[in-house]
Structure 1
Amino acid sequence: MTTSDTPVTIRPFQSADWPAVLPILRTTFQAGDTYAFAPDSTEAEIHKAWVELPAATFVALGVGGEILGTYFIKPNQPGQGAHVCNCGYVVAPAAQGQGVASLMCEHSQQQAVAMGFRAMQFNLVVASNVRAVRLWQHLGFAIVGTLPGAFRHHTLGYVDAHVMFKTLVA
């Protein structure tokens, strides 16, 4: 997918992308303020969670082919809950604030429908990550629950986390 108004291409992850994707993920996880991954997660743990377990992983590329971000999509639950997907998005620090997360989320919704998912759920949106909460709301996600103190933030301590949901197919 190439967007018409911005020079970003989103395509399926390829194994050759890993050397560029890993530092983006590692930087985000080590910050300890948005993802539940342990800051000291090993490369093997990160690869398994981001590439091996999901149904699909994608990368967002800039004009020069540089990786601006990545996302995964997977069933949120097995069996009778497998029609609802879960996604995770990470944008490279240098590309943040440029609409990459929004483009990836829009792309993931299209992919989710194509893969047969009927809805999308984010299980742990850190409440102090106001920029993400606002973006997901802008893209049609609703806060359907708040988990008190569910996230151990690196600097703020225990903070609330939201469960956010969007129906994709009526």
Structure 2
Amino acid sequence: MEIRTATDEDWPHIHRFYSAVMAEGRTYAFPEGQSMGEARPWWMERPPGRTVVAVEDGVITGSAKMGPNRPGRGSHIGTASFLVDPAHRGRGVGRALGEHVIGWCRAAGFHAIQFNAVVETNTPAVRLWGSLGFEVVGTVPEAFDHPEHGLVGLHVMYRRL
């Protein structure tokens, strides 16, 4: 698997599974039903951030965006978000993107990484981030309206670099 910086030409491919994940309504509090133009600024980061794609056999299987969690005095903490094409789940794409983000954040000089909103019922993500050294440092109760479980918490997860 190759992980590389996303290009303008990659965006239509990313948007296909971005839209599918948002339509599922289980992992992101992003707006659903966004056009390609509306969704682009929600995913395609500008410097100092970065968006990458995971590519296998010429097919984009996932994407991650990363950068400072906050501006100014919060810019020493990184953050990231991840998407795996539903057709490629369970094949290690998320782990590879997570490892890439950790390495990028470390090389960029971040002190730590904070994930601001991991849906507590997203067991595969919570398990993956835990295996990569993240811990739940708090949960905002009933902050996410899950289509099956109703109001569930959003975990804040943290990993020192």
Runs of 4+ with >3 A deviation: none
Over 3 Å counting, the alpha-carbon distance change for 1:42 and 1:154 in structure 2 is farther
Choose from 142, 145, 150 the match for 1:152. 145
The equivalent of 2:77 in structure 1 is 84
Cα offsets for 1:60-91 (capped at 9, x unmatched):
000x2100100000211110000111100000
Give distance in 2, aligned partners of 1:34 and 1:79.
Answer: 28
**1:67 aligns to 2:46 (yes or no):** no
The count of residues paired between Structure 1 and Structure 2 equals 160
1:60 partner letter: A
Q: Is the 8 A contact 1:31 1:39 kept in 2?
A: no
Q: For 2:67, give the aligned amino acid.
A: K
CA distance in 1, matches of 2:59, 2:35: 24
Aligned to 2:3: 10
With structure 2 as the length reference, what TM-score do the two structures score?
Answer: 0.95
Unaligned runs of 5+ in 1: 1-7
What is the CA–CA distance in structure 2 between the aligned matches of 1:24 and 1:76, rounded to whole Å? 24
Query: 2:100, 2:138 → 1: CA distance?
Result: 25
* 2:23 aligned residue (10, 13, 30): 30
Counterpart-to-counterpart distance in 1, 2:51 and 2:38? 15
The answer to whether structure 1 residue 47 and structure 2 residue 40 are counterparts is yes
Gaps spanning 5+ residues in structure 2: where? none
One-letter amino acid of the structure 2 residue matched with residue 38 of structure 1 = P
Does residue 112 of structure 2 align to residue 131 of structure 1?
no
Out of 103, 124, 136, the position equivalent to 1:143 is 136
Q: What is the TM-score when the length of structure 1 is the normalising length?
A: 0.90
SS of the counterpart of 2:103?
helix
The answer to whether the aligner puts 1:58 opposite 2:52 as a matched pair is yes
